[in-house]
Amino acid sequence: MRKIRVLSVFGTRPEAIKMCPLVLELQQREEIESLVCVTAQHREMLDGVLKSFGVTPDFDLNVMRPEQTLSALTSRVLEGLGAVFVKAQPDLVLVHGDTTTSFSAALAAFYERIIVGHVEAGLRTYDRYSPFPEELNRQLVGRLAALHFAPTAQNKANLEREGIKEGIFVTGNTVIDAMRYTVGDGSFSSPALRALDFENERHIVLTCHRRENYGAAMEQIFSAVRRLVDAYPDVRFVYPVHPSPAVQETASRMLGNVPRVELIEPLDTFEMHRLMSRCYMVMTDSGGIQEEAPALGKPVLVLRRETERPEAVKAGTVRLAGVETEKIVSLASALLEDKALYARMAQAVNPYGDGRASGRIADAICYMFGYTQTAPELFSPTGTASRPS
Ligand code: UD1
Ligand code: UDP
């Protein structure tokens, strides 16, 4: 039988972290010929992840421009993928999550009548401007895709409510697969991280880069950081600053010379996960970090008004802190002072996966293309395996 030609298309750091373990899995399957196209919506941040996981793309659209607009990015990806599809002749295009790369790649594939598979399907806030533009990107990819790899049962329920009845597989999130490669023994190679004093100081990992937080919200968040280091002399923030010029400007203006706030370059993902495994807590507006930190037993304050990842909020490790200085300071202070509260939140809970999502996705692809008769086992956070009827 001819192999199934699977073309994975991704372009940003978080997509790469979550797609590389899947690509490595697809490469192992004899029924599948795995090809990779990166759009390079991100350049340095993407390349770092590819190198860490040892994934070499077959195609590279190299679309990134400084301060790129969403429309220009969308059209560069759409135009670039036409020639790639002609060369690769894929049976299936896999896209991930909610980025401009995912949406434009799914649309480009649809225009060529190529089947689209959506990895990390079904996350929703139902607020089209938050996160912006990611919420609508993922809803649109949901419409374009025929196969939906939903990390959790709740993600599947969201898709079903929207009328999608077929092709949904609950797989767990591939980010937990990635952590099997990255966390290791927690040791660092970067001198900046080796210099941190984990014995005598409490470290808070901070990330903040989302478009809906640009401007006033980011300033409020950074004011909270200043208040917290003033109030707690044993607290040190470690903030790997996203290269986006909008983020760089606000971070250096408001936090550039603040004692015990380390503004550092984006970290290699292996180092980032190790830092998270050794920190006191995490404050973030990132999506992926909301999945990783609970798996490491670290409390998370989410610096956003909403989250499309309610599972860890329900489980008690994540709290929605919003973007106002007072509330952020008060929730962070509670975690720094109240040991019982800290202990309740610092439980390792893993509603997002068991490290076997990539295998389930590969199984589902083989099943849907008629190469195996057995439906893939589905992910359940309680560990009770089941198969779709
Ligand atoms: C994108 C995703 C967002 C994801 C984020 C992860 C969309 C709409 N948004 O947003 O969902 O959370 O990636 O970081 O797809 N830059 C560099 N080098 C890099 C990466 C970025 O210089 O390696 C700079 C460039 O100036 C670029 C800017 O950052 O123009 C913004 O990048 P872009 O991909 O447009 O947006 P993100 O905010 O990164
Ligand atoms: N990350 C990283 N280095 C950093 C900051 C983040 O490797 O300096 C990782 C982080 O562990 C997570 C992912 O990047 O896996 C999250 O990326 P980001 O916040 O940019 O995007 P989002 O998850 O919000 O889409």
> Which pLDDT tens digit goes with each residue over 118-141?
999 999 999 999 999 999 999 999
Mutate to test the pocket of ligand 2, among 10, 13, 205 (most ligand atoms within 8 A of CB): 13
How confident is the prediction for the chain on average, in pLDDT?
A: 96
Q: What is the pLDDT of residue 386?
A: 63
Q: For 209-242, write each residue's pLDDT tens digit.
A: 999 999 999 999 999 999 999 999 999 999 999 9
Contacts of 354 (CB under 8 A, 6+ apart): 172, 176, 379, 381, 383
Tokens for 195?
């210099």
The closest alpha carbon to 146, from 155, 159, 158, 133, belongs to 159
- Reported pTM: 0.96
Distance from Cα 75 to the centre of ligand 1, integer Å: 16
Q: pLDDT, tens digit, for every residue of 343-364?
A: 999 988 889 999 999 999 999 9
Active site residues: 98, 120, 134, 209, 211, 242
Q: CB-based contacts of 251: which residues, under 8 Å, 6+ apart?
A: 208, 222, 239, 241, 263
Question: What φ, ψ does residue 64 adopt, rounded to 5°?
Answer: -65, 135
Residue 339's alpha-carbon distances to 176, 206, 314, 346, in angstroms, are 28, 21, 20, 10
Q: What is the Cα–Cα distance from 105 to 120, expressed in whole angstroms?
A: 15
Residue with tokens 């374009």: 144
Provide the pLDDT for residue 381: 86
Q: Which residue has the higher pLDDT, 1 or 225?
A: 225
> What pLDDT, on the 0 to 100 scale, is given for residue 384?
61
Q: For residue 44, is pLDDT > 60?
A: yes
Q: State yes or no: cis peptide before 240, omega within 30 of 0.
A: no
> Best of 207, 270, 274 to mutate for ligand 2, by most ligand atoms within 8 A of CB?
207
Q: Parallel, antiparallel, or unpaired for β 202-207 and 92-96?
A: unpaired
* Binding-site residues, ligand 2, Cβ < 6 A: 13-14, 17, 207, 240, 266-267, 269, 272-273, 286-289, 292
Pocket of ligand 1 (CB under 6 A): 12-14, 41-45, 66-68, 70, 98-100, 133-134, 209, 211, 242-245
Q: Which are the contacts of 268, defined by CB distance < 8 A and separation ≥ 6?
A: 48, 52, 190
Q: What is the pLDDT of residues 24-36, one digit of tens each?
A: 999 999 999 999 9
**Is the per-residue pLDDT at 389 higher than 50?**
no
pLDDT reading at 383 higher than 70: no
User: Side by side, which strands form the sheet with 281-284?
Assistant: 261-264, 235-240, 202-207, 281-284, 300-302, 318-320
Query: Exposed, middle or buried, 63 (CB in 10 Å: 0-12/13-18/19+)?
Result: buried
* Range in 11-25, 179-193, 252-266, 323-337 the model is least confident about: 179-193
Q: What is the mean pLDDT of residues 260-274?
A: 96
Which residue spans within the chain are E strands per DSSP? 4-10, 32-38, 59-60, 92-96, 115-119, 147-150, 168-170, 202-207, 235-240, 261-264, 281-284, 300-302, 318-320
**CA distances (Å), 98 to each of 5, 226, 384, in order?**
23, 32, 29
